[in-house]
Structure formats: C-alpha cells, structure tokens
C-alpha cells in the first residue's frame, strides 16, 4: 500500500543529492517552510468550544504547490476588464529539445528571446494587409515542463481573434487557426535562430564554450521542422478567464499528481500526449526533486506578459476603441465585458472568522500573533 505524500514532505525526508543554485536553494527552503511555524502565523480561538488552533502563513512562492490557487484567483479577477466578445485563439510556441542544454546555461537570455520572437512572428502576420492588417493583442505564459517533469520549454498564448486597425476599426479573423500554422512555424524558426545567432556573436551565450557548437546547433535547427500549435478555443466571453487561469499560475507539479511512495519510488501520475493515455511514472525521491527544481525560474523573470493592444501601457485606451468598433458593427454593446460580481458600495460584509473544525458551530478568531523564529532567515 502506497503512502500519501506531498512535495513538502518529500523534500523534508530526502535532501537533494546535487548542488543547487542560490535561487533553487531559496525555493527549496520556501517550500519546506510553507504553512509551518517557520513562517509565523496566528493563534486562533473558537468563540463556542474554546478550541485553540495555530494557523501558519504560506510562503507565496510562485513555485510552491500550495500557494497558487489564491494568486490565480486574484490575477483572473484583474483580467476580467480585458475580455472582448470575440473568438479567442490558443497558440503554443515550443522550443526544440536540442536547446535544453542552452536553457540550463542561459535561462534568462533564452526565455527573453522566446518571448520576443514569438511576439515578433505574431505581429508580422497580424499587420500583414493580406491577413488582418492591424494590431494584435496577446497574453503569453511561459511553461518549462512536460507532464513527466522533463524540460519542455514553451509559450502558451491566448489571442483575441482580430486586429485593431489604424482607423480604429476591428477586423475579425476568418480562420479556424488565426494564421497558417506552417508559415507561422517557419517564420518563428527563422526569428528564433537569428536571435540566438546574434546573442552568441554578442557574447550573451558565453557559457557555450565548445568550438563551433553554436554554429552547428543552429544550422541543425534550421534544417528541422518547428511546429506552432494553434486552435480556436473560446467562443463564450464568460469562459475566457477560466480558460486563461488554467495556464496562468500552473506549476511543474501539483500535489494531486503524487499518488504515494512504494518500494523507495514515488508514484507520479502523468498524461502521455503521444497516445493520450494516463500513466504512472516511478521515480526515486531524489530524481523527482531534481526534476522539480529543474523548472525554477530566474529571479525576477516575468513569466506572464501582455503584448499589442493588451500591453499595460495602452490597454485601457485601445480596448475602448475596440469595444466602440464592435458595438457599431455587431450591436453588442450591452455584452462588452462580463460583469464582475461586486457588492454595492458601502455594503461590505465584515470578516467574522473561520469556521471551527472541531465543533463546526463556532468561529475562529485571532487571539494572538505567532512570530517567525528569530533564527530562521527564510
């Protein structure tokens, strides 16, 4: 019989066998401390049964398995105002696995170029007068993993199906794939390989030291086929944010996929996309932790970015122009944006404590603060 585990208990029982970078070590410590007395918290008191219960703070690390739900919910609420009543497209730009070694050596450079080249390709096709002839908008989210925790670097892009022209008109996409997939894939390949070659020549990829390795790898990449995945995914505006939220704060591994531990191996549930079947992978705890830490992002790297008319610097103005154009053509002004559920001003419900897990009747209220231990530097 397997024993139920979480990523936190697994890390507490098995120390990593390989050396960690300072950033990975920081994430490792955050996950170990999450929801424990090391984070400090509050002592709660039930007003009915006099039950006392300590409640400890979460670490709020973006790599933590426990801390993403609330952050995802808050982020989705902020995106509600940007939803348009049009069909949305889901595109995925994937880096070939031949570049995985470069990603480990220069993650910040490779991720920056991936964002830049994916958007440059979309912008090129969007502004083409033969296609949409205007400005696209896109929200891009970086993922670095596959279902088995292998390195699989790709960008999920959610794009409203149309473009804003210079005359402030809206041009709807008439394709089920937004743009021709083969042409878009070739353009993205050319942009990315050219950007990598320029980065190598300028010294940004200085950790690649083998003679002529960069030139050989880039020539091989230009000779292989790159594929950009594309499909129309959303036709109802009220579901756009929920769809976007599936990808916005997803991490490499959730505790729900850990089935337990048997004979010194951790059982990991995953989906094999080659045949579409659910399978179970057996890994040693050390190997699972190594694969998990493989996907720690560089400090300060923005993994969610907005482009075009969804960019933060111009979003408000340009979305107003788009909605005005849509209301003229389709007479849907009353369906512009899903309304956010809010209480009338001045009628907020004060916080009345958490339900008591012991008596089920009372409410837990804060009795005292539990400070973090002085020796714990986090």
pLDDT, position 48: 86
CA separation for the pair 248, 142 (Å, rounded): 9
CA separation for the pair 28, 363 (Å, rounded): 34
Dihedral, CA atoms, 317, 319, 135, 165, nearest 10 degrees?
Answer: -80
User: Are 162 and 170 in contact, with CB atoms under 8 Å apart?
Assistant: yes
Count of Cβ atoms closer than 10 Å to residue 218 Cβ: 18
**Beta pairing class for 41-46 and 52-56:** antiparallel
Give the DSSP letter string of 195-241: HHHHHHHTTTTTT--STTHHHHHHHHHHHSPP--EEEEEE--GGGHH
pLDDT, position 345: 43
pLDDT, position 336: 45
Domain layout of the chain by residue ranges: 83-252+294-331
Closest C-alpha among 94, 323, 353 to residue 221:
94
CA separation for the pair 177, 171 (Å, rounded): 15
Per run of 10 residues, the mean pLDDT along the chain (length 378 residues) is 77 84 92 92 88 90 86 83 89 95 96 98 96 95 94 94 93 90 96 96 93 93 93 72 80 90 91 88 93 93 95 93 85 46 48 82 87 69
CA separation for the pair 30, 60 (Å, rounded): 8
pLDDT, position 332: 43
Count of Cβ atoms closer than 10 Å to residue 308 Cβ: 22
User: Are 2 and 262 in contact, with CB atoms under 8 Å apart?
Assistant: yes
With H, G, I as helix, E, B as strand and everything else as coil, classify residue 355.
Answer: strand
List the beta bridge partners of residue 141. Answer: 156, 304
């Amino acid at each position: 019989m397997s024993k139920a585990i979480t990523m936190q208990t697994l890390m507490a029982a098995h120390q990593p066998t390989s050396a960690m970078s300072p950033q990975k070590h920081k994430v490792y410590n955050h996950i170990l401390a999450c929801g424990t007395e090391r984070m400090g918290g509050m002592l709660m008191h039930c007003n009915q049964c006099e039950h006392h219960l300590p409640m400890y703070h979460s670490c709020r690390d973006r790599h933590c398995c426990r801390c993403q739900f609330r952050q995802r919910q808050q982020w989705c609420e902020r995106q509600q105002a940007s939803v348009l009543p049009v069909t949305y497209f889901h595109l995925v730009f994937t880096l070939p696995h031949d570049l995985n070694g470069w990603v480990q050596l220069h993650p910040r450079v490779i991720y920056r170029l991936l964002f830049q080249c994916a958007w440059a390709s979309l912008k090129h096709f969007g502004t083409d007068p033969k296609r949409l002839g205007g400005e696209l908008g896109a929200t891009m989210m970086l993922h670095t993993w596959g279902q088995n925790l292998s390195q699989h670097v790709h960008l999920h892009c959610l794009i409203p199906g149309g473009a804003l022209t210079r005359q402030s008109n809206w041009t709807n996409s008439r394709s089920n794939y937004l743009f021709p997939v083969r042409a878009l894939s070739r353009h993205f390949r050319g942009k990315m390989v050219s950007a990598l070659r320029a980065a190598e020549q300028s010294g940004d990829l200085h950790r690649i030291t083998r003679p002529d390795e960069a030139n050989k790898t880039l020539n091989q990449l230009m000779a292989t086929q790159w594929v950009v995945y594309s499909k129309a995914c959303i036709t109802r505006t009220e579901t756009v944010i929920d769809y976007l939220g599936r990808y916005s704060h997803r991490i490499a591994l959730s505790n729900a996929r850990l089935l337990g531990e048997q004979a010194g191996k951790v059982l990991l549930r995953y989906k094999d996309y080659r045949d579409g079947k659910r399978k179970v992978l057996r890994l040693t705890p050390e190997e699972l932790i190594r694969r998990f830490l493989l996907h720690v992002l560089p400090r300060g790297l923005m993994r969610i970015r907005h482009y075009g008319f969804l960019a933060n610097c111009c979003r408000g103005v340009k979305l107003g122009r788009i909605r005005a154009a849509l209301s003229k053509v389709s007479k849907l002004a009353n369906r512009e944006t899903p309304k956010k559920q809010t209480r009338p001003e001045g009628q907020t419900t004060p916080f009345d404590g958490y339900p008591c897990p012991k008596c089920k009747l009372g409410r837990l209220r804060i009795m005292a603060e539990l400070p973090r231990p002085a020796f714990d530097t986090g």
